[in-house]
Structure 1
Amino acid sequence: MSRIVGVSAAVPPNSYAQSVITDTIAPMITSNPSKQAVLRRLHAGSRVDRRHLVLPIERYLEKQSFTITNELFIDAATDLAEEALVAALARARIRADEVDFVLFTSVTGVSAPSIDALLVPRVGLRSDVKRVPMFGLGCVAGAAGIARLDDYLAGHPRGVAVLVSVELCSLTVQRDDDSMANLVASGLFGDGAAAVVMVGAERAAERDDAGFDIVGVRSALYPDTRHVLGFNPGETGFRIVLTAGVADVIDEHFGSDMTQFLGDHDATIDSIDRWIAHPGGPRVLEAFSDALHLSSGALDASWDSLARVGNLSSASVLHVLADSIRDAPPTAGELCSLFALGPGVCAELVLLRWSGEPQ
């Protein structure tokens, strides 16, 4: 089994209470008093207390083209990615020049050369490091990235692979757009980055520390759900597609998918000690909990992350993982289920076990 040996999260330094963000951007998004009232209700009900933004909040009032916001993305994303990756490597006690494979993901900006290429000289990665930039998976990409690193390491048991996620969601909020999707997104999404360091099974066996071993992974793509979630690129950037249908997809599919996945690995819902769910929003977390019939408090780590930083798209589930390990260190043999949903609609399920023999 491959093993997670280092996780780190990063956020920009500009931090604002939800009420400050609401008051500042409401007139930017709509001049219609009734629409502003809807925006304020949505923001207040988002269960988000605070968010980090890549720009000082007053900068969002300036009229900006996609060209401008994407240039901002490239510069800021590279800085945040470097911060997260350097910290994750330090936690893993692995040098940058030991990394064999880099998977980079974002859905809030584009760059060629990709951000992972820009990281190579800045972090000290080898010039022959294998790189795969991944775009389009959105919120699911944090979980999918861990799964794809596991795929790579299955064939490279002595290898070191890293996942880097950066999402600057604030750069995608649209001016003068009072669509329900934009009203919801403007109160839910924040900016942040995360990095995960994993090693192959042979390398893991030689280490003297513990980490989450990857027991199994599963992907799912649900038919006829393209309209439910995603981004539509346009002149002013990425316009979000976000509907209430996300929760309906969870209600219809997620419980049975998770039950079958766990059963394939001789586990059950009741045998999971720790749940790491993507904090997509209140309705999404409630739908996850209902579909799995979880006890009260099972998703507290995800609710806490949502309140502290908002939904960070692909980086969110990795923030929850980092926070959970820090705040409640796992014990040997502990089972953890990590999962997320994204455009498609698709899901990625990852089963983890903390290394070592149970006491």
Structure 2
Amino acid sequence: MSRVVAVEAVLPRHVYAQEAITEAVAPLVTPDPSRAALLRRLHAGAGVRSRHLVLPLEEYAGLGSMGATNAVFVREGTLLAEEACRRALAAAGVEPGEVDHVFATSVTGVAAPSLDVLLSERLGLRGDVRRTPSFGLGCAGGAGGLARVHDHLLGRPRDVSLLVAVELCSLTLQHRDDSAANLVASGLFGDGAAAAVVVGAEHPLARAEGGRRTARVLDTRSQLYPGTTDALGWEVRDTGFAIVLSADLPDLLGAHLLADVKGLLADHGLTPAQVPAWVVHAGGPRVIDAVRDALGLSEDAVRESRASLASAGNLSSVSVLDVLARTLEAAEAPPGTPAVLMAFGPGVSCELVLLRLEGR
């Protein structure tokens, strides 16, 4: 079993109340008063109090092309991801030269050399570090990345892996696009980065007792839902990434999620009722509601997901790692408590990770 020994989330320094973002974004998105009124209602119902943006709010009016936004992504995203990695490595007590593998995920910008290469130089990783760059997992990237890191460590149990996610969702705002998907996205998504240090079962940190709360990865499961490729993703335009976001997504989760979770847990002699801790991607109030209702959870079980959404918005792949960091910090459950981590992305895909909480 691999072990998550540290998780750190980092948000940009420009933070604004949801109402301030709404008033700045509305004239960029639509000149139509009726559509602007709908935008305000959607923003108010997004479950978001504030969001952190990679740029000052007034600079978004000047962004309009794929080239301009992607240049900001590469520059600022690398810096934000570097800070998250440095914090996670310091919290784990791991030197950059001890990292054997980097899994980097994002879906809000592209880079070649890839993000993992840019981070390798800035962090001072070894020249022979193994790298797994990922684009396209979307909001499922944090959970899917953790699952793939676990797979790597099963084969290389003495290794240290560094999982890093960075998403600058604000750069995907589409000017003069008053589609329902763009109106929703403009009020829901935020910017951030997160990093996790994960070690294999034979690494010394995997055997450390007591101290800070950590989590062991017991098992993972990936699921694609057929006939849903048009429900979630990007339409790539000259103006950047335009979101594809079906209103049916919560219903899809409600129809499929319980069977997927039961299947994962059954292999370990567990049922959903026996799992007290849930690390749920903060995809939006309807997504969180769908997970809660499908699994028969209490509102308290999704408390950290609601808190993440309220304070930062949907951080895409970063979101579930932020919720995991919050859960590890706040969880009062005894060592050995099972937890299920989950996130959803284009496909539509579901990524599940079964954890066992350790420490304290």
**1:9-31 per-position Cα deviation (integer Å, ceiling 9, x unaligned):** 00100000000000111011000
Confirm whether residue 41 of structure 1 aligns to residue 41 of structure 2.
yes
- Alpha-carbon shift at residue 211 of structure 1 (Å): 2.1
Counterpart residue number, 2:222: 219
Whichever residue aligns with residue 338 of structure 1, its letter is L
Which whole-Å CA distance do the structure 1 matches of 2:206 and 2:330 have between them? 26
- Alpha-carbon shift at residue 280 of structure 1 (Å): 0.4
Q: Once the two structures are aligned, what percentage of the paired residues are identical?
A: 53
- Alpha-carbon shift at residue 205 of structure 1 (Å): 4.3
Whichever residue aligns with residue 281 of structure 2, its letter is H
Which whole-Å CA distance do the structure 2 matches of 1:240 and 1:24 have between them? 20
Which whole-Å CA distance do the structure 1 matches of 2:170 and 2:100 have between them? 32
Name which of structure 1's ranges 327-336 and 141-150 shifts more when overlaid on structure 2.
327-336
- Alpha-carbon shift at residue 355 of structure 1 (Å): 3.3
Match of 1:122, SS state, is helix
Aligned length: 357
Residues 120 and 126, structure 2, Cα contact 8 Å, conserved in 1:
yes
**1:110-155 per-position Cα deviation (integer Å, ceiling 9, x unaligned):** 0000111011121111111011110001000100000000000001
Match of 2:149, SS state, is helix
Counterpart residue number, 1:346: 349
Which whole-Å CA distance do the structure 2 matches of 1:41 and 1:129 have between them? 48
Unmatched runs of 5 consecutive residues or more in structure 1: none
Confirm whether residue 95 of structure 1 aligns to residue 95 of structure 2.
yes
Match of 2:192, SS state, is strand
Which whole-Å CA distance do the structure 1 matches of 2:248 and 2:262 have between them? 22
Change (3 A) 1:97 1:36: same
Pairing of 1:309-328 with structure 2 (within 5 A): 309-328=312-331
Unmatched runs of 5 consecutive residues or more in structure 2: none
Whichever residue aligns with residue 110 of structure 1, its letter is V
Match of 2:300, SS state, is coil
Which whole-Å CA distance do the structure 2 matches of 1:21 and 1:205 have between them? 43
TM-score of the superposition, structure 2-length normalised? 0.97
Which whole-Å CA distance do the structure 2 matches of 1:351 and 1:246 have between them? 23
Change (3 A) 1:63 1:353: closer
Which whole-Å CA distance do the structure 2 matches of 1:206 and 1:63 have between them? 49
TM-score of the superposition, structure 1-length normalised? 0.97
Counterpart residue number, 1:191: 191
Pairing of 1:174-185 with structure 2 (within 5 A): 174-185=174-185
- Alpha-carbon shift at residue 63 of structure 1 (Å): 4.2
Which whole-Å CA distance do the structure 1 matches of 2:246 and 2:43 have between them? 16
Counterpart residue number, 1:271: 274
- Alpha-carbon shift at residue 331 of structure 1 (Å): 2.7
**1:242-285 per-position Cα deviation (integer Å, ceiling 9, x unaligned):** 01111121111001111121111111111112100001001100
**1:305-343 per-position Cα deviation (integer Å, ceiling 9, x unaligned):** 000000000000000111121223553111111001100
Name which of structure 1's ranges 79-88 and 62-71 shifts more when overlaid on structure 2.
62-71
Residues 199 and 206, structure 2, Cα contact 8 Å, conserved in 1:
no
Pairing of 1:292-303 with structure 2 (within 5 A): 292-303=295-306
**1:25-49 per-position Cα deviation (integer Å, ceiling 9, x unaligned):** 1011000000001000000000100
Which whole-Å CA distance do the structure 2 matches of 1:63 and 1:323 have between them? 33
TM-align CA RMSD: 1.2
Match of 1:312, SS state, is coil
Counterpart residue number, 1:207: 208
Which whole-Å CA distance do the structure 2 matches of 1:308 and 1:355 have between them? 27
Which whole-Å CA distance do the structure 2 matches of 1:140 and 1:325 have between them? 20
Which whole-Å CA distance do the structure 2 matches of 1:272 and 1:285 have between them? 17
Residues 84 and 194, structure 2, Cα contact 8 Å, conserved in 1:
yes
Counterpart residue number, 1:9: 9
Change (3 A) 1:297 1:205: closer
Name which of structure 1's ranges 327-336 and 215-224 shifts more when overlaid on structure 2.
327-336
Whichever residue aligns with residue 98 of structure 1, its letter is E
Which whole-Å CA distance do the structure 2 matches of 1:205 and 1:305 have between them? 28
Change (3 A) 1:199 1:76: same
**1:162-191 per-position Cα deviation (integer Å, ceiling 9, x unaligned):** 110000000001000000000000000000
Which whole-Å CA distance do the structure 2 matches of 1:80 and 1:218 have between them? 29
Residues 343 and 351, structure 2, Cα contact 8 Å, conserved in 1:
yes
